[in-house]
Structure 1
């Protein structure tokens, strides 16, 4: 069986064409300058693997080529140089870009507006039915979702969730505390307010995200994900009291982090409950094993013994 490797390399344009034959043909390829070392390194390693597989003696130049471009690839990765796109590539991207044209209001109520979005695509003008919130007070996002962790001495860290009835689903949902951002309010401030109103707990903001989409195929609504720590040993959180509106009926749920995924599965077996997607994704990132006790808890156990 024969093996042939041929390169045509242009240093000025960093364009490479390669053809490999070993009973099959490796497709002709053209790559831009920022892909040059990665492409050659990958291709050279591929050819070397063929030599190794069929127990052939690889040419010294090919081995040198692989080592040289492997080194260059590592250097580029270390320097974290930004990729420089070819002008032709940028031109093609611009031609493929979609853009909004106009919004058509089909029906409007107090909180929501049903609209038809008209937009331009490479294949012409298209339209999309969507829902938009009528009242948006913040340029960052429509609302906030509060990921609140309850921390107490001699206890495992717990996540604060809420259970409430959602008419669109005609079921109860398990969610994070959440709400809309008021006029003149920042996302962190809104998170602290909503957490206090819905759960009675007062927390400290650790970090917050930019506006992220909730259901991009249906609605323009965005939220800021705000992480909050709650000091469960402080006097202000010893007896939390909710401050709900007259039409709000919310149950507060406290779940140990290591038991969250298992608890969600139990709730998911109830046909009258739907788990919010954000909660489910968050649970999948948590450790499923019970965490080891810290030094203070170990000392407490010894004193108890």
Structure 2
């Protein structure tokens, strides 16, 4: 059995301690208290998280990437979705995710997705151009925080020379294992991952639900 070096590193990660964060020390996110009136005019308050990294003039914090691997020389092979395993401190677990990243100042969502995919996986992708390439703005957990993103839908041509030997360009604090599974099996794969102790990112879970709904009710 071949041991994956990335998984060995991920398995070594662990939470040492958790403590309150003084807001003056926050670099990535902070807590805010919002005062508002409900439909009956009653004044109420709401505690929530707020990102500190959204570039000025941008309507999103970042992107999630739905990358579909295709090999034109093998048209009968099932389409595969590109996924990642990454340990996340807030949940103290290795999470099954799609590639994703924060947007840079004056960067379009499409450019951000192509850049992040290359950096995190080594693959060069192309944005789908038939109107399905860019999702509406999506809020990850609107009852808790204002973090949002657009899902960018890419195809990766495996027969292209740039994608034959992909090499990630990870930062020194990034430890990511990239892999793929058949898109049609995403729901059952998520069930397997959960049983193995992995956490499932909501974007992956939602994609899996969509695929399974389309299969069960013959949508198309």
Richer in helix (by share): 1
Q: Is the 8 A contact 1:148 1:228 kept in 2?
A: yes
**Structure 1: distance between partners of 2:23 and 2:47:** 11
**Structure 2: distance between partners of 1:174 and 1:187:** 22
Give secondary structure in 2 for the equivalent of 1:179.
strand
Deviations 1:12-67 (A, max 9, x none): xxxxxxxxxxxxxxxxxxxxxxxxxxxxxxxxxxxxxxxxxxxxxxxxxxxxxxxx
Q: Measure how far apart 1:140 and its partner are.
A: 2.3
Aligned pair count reads 183
In the alignment, what sits opposite 1:223? 149
In the alignment, what sits opposite 1:203? 125
In the alignment, what sits opposite 1:132? 50
5 Å-filtered alignment, 1:169-188, equals 169-188=91-110
**Structure 1: distance between partners of 2:148 and 2:32:** 17
Q: Measure how far apart 1:260 and its partner are.
A: 1.7
Deviations 1:229-280 (A, max 9, x none): 1101100000000001100000001111122222111111023x11111111
**Structure 2: distance between partners of 1:107 and 1:247:** 23
Kindly indicate whether residue 181 of structure 2 is the aligned counterpart of residue 262 of structure 1: no
Deviations 1:57-116 (A, max 9, x none): xxxxxxxxxxxxxxxxxxxxxxxxxxxxxxxxxxxxxxxxxxxxxxxxx82401111111
What is the RMSD of the two structures over their aligned residues, measured on CA atoms? 1.6
- Provide TM-score, normalisation by structure 1: 0.58
In the alignment, what sits opposite 1:112? 29
Q: Is the 8 A contact 1:107 1:115 kept in 2?
A: no
Q: Measure how far apart 1:139 and its partner are.
A: 2.2
Q: Is the 8 A contact 1:146 1:226 kept in 2?
A: yes
5 Å-filtered alignment, 1:78-93, equals none
Structure 1's consecutive aligned runs of 4 or more residues displaced over 6 angstroms after TM superposition are none
Using CA pairs under 8 Å that are at least 6 residues apart, name the structure with larger relative contact order, 1 or 2.
2
**Structure 2: distance between partners of 1:190 and 1:117:** 31
In the alignment, what sits opposite 1:6? none
Kindly indicate whether residue 200 of structure 2 is the aligned counterpart of residue 283 of structure 1: no
**Consecutive unaligned residues in structure 1, runs of 5 or more:** 1-105, 290-305
In the alignment, what sits opposite 1:80? none
Q: Is the 8 A contact 1:196 1:243 kept in 2?
A: yes
Return the index of the structure with the highest Cα Rg.
Answer: 1
- Provide TM-score, normalisation by structure 2: 0.79
**Consecutive unaligned residues in structure 2, runs of 5 or more:** 1-21, 216-220
In the alignment, what sits opposite 2:64? 145
